[in-house]
Structure 1
C-alpha cells in the first residue's frame, strides 16, 4: 500500500502545478502516434506504419533583463529579469513570431525539454516541428511572468516579492508594487523588441495566459494578427474577483505569513497556508468526472465514519500533493498573481471598450467542464467579438479534466488550430 500511496501523490504533482486562473501542469503531455507514409520498400497496398512521435526537442532557458520599469500603476521597479525560451527562426521581416503566454502557476517552459530525461513543456503536444504551431514555420517565444509563483525554482527567472530590493538588500516582500496582466504584457513587449519581433502571427495561452493574449490584442492591435485565448474569459467579474480572494485567504490566515515578511533567516515560510490555497484552487480547476476516481472511499487505514480527524481518499491526496507543491512555490507571489488577475483589462471601461481597440482574427477555446471560467464566459467573449466585428471561431474541448483540459486536452483542437493558422 505504501507504493500505491507514493504513486498517487506523484500523479497529483501535475494537477497541483496548476493552481488558479491558469493552474495547469508543467509536465509531459501524452501525444498520439502520427501515421507515416509507406516507405519506398513497402508494398503500395501496405497500411501506413504508425510511428512514435518525435521526442520533444531540447530547449535552452535564457534570461532577459533591463533597467528601470514603471508599472501601469505608476510605481518604479529598478530592474526587471525574466526567463524565456524560443524555438524556430525569426524571418527577416520579423513577422513570423508566436508568443505563448502561461497560466497562473506555470512558467515559460511551454514546449521542448530542458534536459534529455526531463518533462516536456506544458503545450508540447501542439508546439514543435510539424505540429499545429509549427516551429519550422514560426519563431515561438514563451517567457516567465513577473511575480512568478515558481520563484524558488532554478528554471524560473522572475522579478517579484521574493526578489531582492536593491535599495534595501532584502527581499521586497509586500513592498513590491502591485502589477497587472498589462504589466506582464509590457515586459513581454520589451523582450520581443529585444529579439527583433515586429509582428505576432499568433498570441495564445491558457487561463491566465488567455488574459494576457486578450490584453495583447487590445494594447497592440497593429502587432497582433491572431489571438487564441484558451479556457479564459473576457471579463474578471465580481463573482470571479470573489473566488480569487477565497483562493488567497489561507495564506493571509497563516501566522507564519507575517504580512509577507517571512524571508528572513530562521523564519518559517507560510507553507501551510500556501498548501491550503493550492488545494482549494486545484480542486476548483478539475471536474466531477476526474474526482470520481476517488469515490467516497476513506484514506488508507482511516475511518471518517468513526473519527472526525480521519480523512477521505480525495482529502488525503489533495493534502499530500499540495504540501509538496507548496515547498517549491512562493506564497507572496501567489498573492501578487491573484491581484494581477483581478486587474485584468483594468484600464478599460469594460470588455466592449477593450475589444473596440483590438484587431486580428480570433479562435476561442473553452472547456465544457470548466469550473474556474465556465463555458458561458467564453460564449460571452465570442458574442462580444462578433458585436465588435472581429472574425471569430470556437473550438470546444471536452473531457473529465475541467479547467485543466486547456492544457492536457489541447490537442483535441489540433485541426481547428491548423485551420486557424492557415487563414
Structure 2
C-alpha cells in the first residue's frame, strides 16, 4: 500500500518511467472546528490537505474524488514545482486528455486523517502527532481510533464546502478503494460512479492478521513507549522494519527478484558471520529507512487499525451494505496481487450485481500494478466515466 515509497525507491531499479507531468498544482488546507468520529469521539479541530485539478463547472456536476492508498497522500497528479523529480502517483491517468480527463472533470484529492507522512511538508493531517488543544501536547494514543468511515466523512465535509452535492465518481486504490466503496454505501445518492482499484469489500481474517505484522515492529521498539515518544526519540527502527514489511508484501516475487538480479545466497560475509546481511536485505531496509523521517509510527498504527476494522457499511453485514449501492461500479483488481487478492474484489462485485463491472489488471508488480500498470486500463476508466 506504500505506493509513493515504491515510486522513489524501485522505479529506477526496474527501468520504468512515469510520464512527464503537465499539471502544476498547489496544496490547500481544509479545516473542521469539530468532528465526531464513527465511534462517537470528538476531535476539536481537524485539518487535512487537498489538491484539485481541472475546473468545476457551473452546475458543479463534474467533480471526481480521488481517495488515496495506505501511505499515500493527496498528491495524485501534477507537480508542485517544475523542479520536482516526480509527479503525483496517478499522473499517468489524471490530467488533460488522460483517462480521468481534467479538461472535462474537476478532480479533488485529499489527505486522510492520521496520514502516514505526518512530517512531510506537503502533507496536512490531524492525528496522534498533532497538538491536542486541551493539553498543548501531541495526542499520542489519546487520539481516538478512527475508521475508513471517518476518512470519508471528512472528505464529505470538504466536498460540501465547495458547494458540490453529487460526485460524478469516487476513485481509489488499495486503502483508497475502501474509501471509494464506503462512499457508495454510506452516501449512495451522492455517488454516481464508484471505482475500486486493487480493492476489497471487507478485511478478512487473513488480512487482519497480516496487517498486524505491519504494526508489530513499531510496538516492539522500546522507544515507542506506548505511543508517548514525541518529547524524546522516535521509534524509527520499528518504523523502518514496518515499512520494509509493507514493501515486500506489496511486491510480487517476480518483480522483487528482478529488482535484485545479482542476489547470491552464498557470500563470504553471510557464510562466516551470523550478523552479516545480504545486499538484498540492505537494499530493502535502506529503501524503508529513506522514508522514516517524514512518517510517524503512531500514524501507521492508526492506519493499520482503520484498515483492519474495514467492512463496507461498518455494520458487519457486507451483503446488506452493498445492496445500498446505487452507483455504477467498476472493480479493477490486479491478477498477481498477493496482498489484496482478486477474490476480495470479486466478492464485492458479485454482491453488487448487475450494476457492477469487473476487469483484472495484468502485470508483474503484484499489488503495485494498481499504480505502475493502471494505464493498461485507461480506456476502460475513460469509457466508464463517460457512461
The answer to whether the 8 A contact 2:20-2:87 is kept is no
Kindly report which structure 2 residues correspond to 1:106-145, keeping only aligned pairs within 5 A, or say none: 106-118=72-84, 119-145=86-112
Which residue of 219, 234, 244 maps to 1:279?
244
The answer to whether the 8 A contact 1:81-1:158 is kept is yes
Give, in whole Å, the separation in 2 of the partners of 1:61 and 1:420: 28
- Structure 1: which 5+ residue stretches go unaligned? 1-11, 19-23, 32-52
The answer to whether the 8 A contact 1:150-1:328 is kept is yes
Corresponding residue number in structure 1 for 2:6: 15
Give, in whole Å, the separation in 1 of the partners of 2:241 and 2:316: 34
TM-score in terms of structure 2 length = 0.93
1:395 is displaced (CA, Å) by 2.4
The answer to whether the 8 A contact 1:296-1:312 is kept is no
Give, in whole Å, the separation in 1 of the partners of 2:295 and 2:8: 10
1:117 is displaced (CA, Å) by 1.6
Kindly report which structure 2 residues correspond to 1:393-412, keeping only aligned pairs within 5 A, or say none: 393-412=357-376
The answer to whether the 8 A contact 1:65-1:80 is kept is yes
Corresponding residue number in structure 2 for 1:366: 333
The answer to whether the 8 A contact 1:17-1:105 is kept is no
Q: Does 1:268 align with 2:255?
A: no
Corresponding residue number in structure 2 for 1:311: 277
Q: Does 1:324 align with 2:311?
A: no
Kindly report which structure 2 residues correspond to 1:8-407, keeping only aligned pairs within 5 A, or say none: 14-15=5-6, 30-31=17-18, 55-118=21-84, 119-264=86-231, 267-293=232-258, 294-295=260-261, 297-298=263-264, 303-345=269-311, 347-386=314-353, 390-407=354-371
Give, in whole Å, the separation in 1 of the partners of 2:105 and 2:155: 18
Give, in whole Å, the separation in 2 of the partners of 1:350 and 1:13: 33
| 1:308 aligned counterpart, secondary structure | coil
Give, in whole Å, the separation in 2 of the partners of 1:59 and 1:300: 49
The answer to whether the 8 A contact 1:149-1:334 is kept is yes
**Per-residue CA shift, 1:351-407, capped at 9, x if unaligned?**
211111111111100111111101111222221121xxx412122112221101101
Which protein has the larger Cα radius of gyration, Structure 1 or Structure 2? 1
1:113 is displaced (CA, Å) by 0.4
1:276 is displaced (CA, Å) by 0.5
The answer to whether the 8 A contact 1:16-1:279 is kept is no
1:349 is displaced (CA, Å) by 2.7
1:298 is displaced (CA, Å) by 4.4
Give, in whole Å, the separation in 1 of the partners of 2:178 and 2:349: 14
**Per-residue CA shift, 1:310-330, capped at 9, x if unaligned?**
222221111111111112110
Give, in whole Å, the separation in 1 of the partners of 2:43 and 2:211: 25
The answer to whether the 8 A contact 1:75-1:177 is kept is yes
Give, in whole Å, the separation in 1 of the partners of 2:159 and 2:373: 28
The answer to whether the 8 A contact 2:147-2:306 is kept is yes
More displaced 10-residue stretch of structure 1: 315-324 or 163-172: 315-324
Give the 3 Å change call, closer, same or farther, for CA 355–205 of structure 1 in structure 2: same
**Per-residue CA shift, 1:283-331, capped at 9, x if unaligned?**
0000011122225724998532232222222211111111111121100
Give, in whole Å, the separation in 1 of the partners of 2:299 and 2:127: 7
Give, in whole Å, the separation in 2 of the partners of 1:184 and 1:13: 20
The answer to whether the 8 A contact 2:21-2:77 is kept is no
Give the 3 Å change call, closer, same or farther, for CA 70–55 of structure 1 in structure 2: closer
The answer to whether the 8 A contact 1:298-1:311 is kept is no
| 1:105 aligned counterpart, secondary structure | coil
Give the 3 Å change call, closer, same or farther, for CA 157–177 of structure 1 in structure 2: same
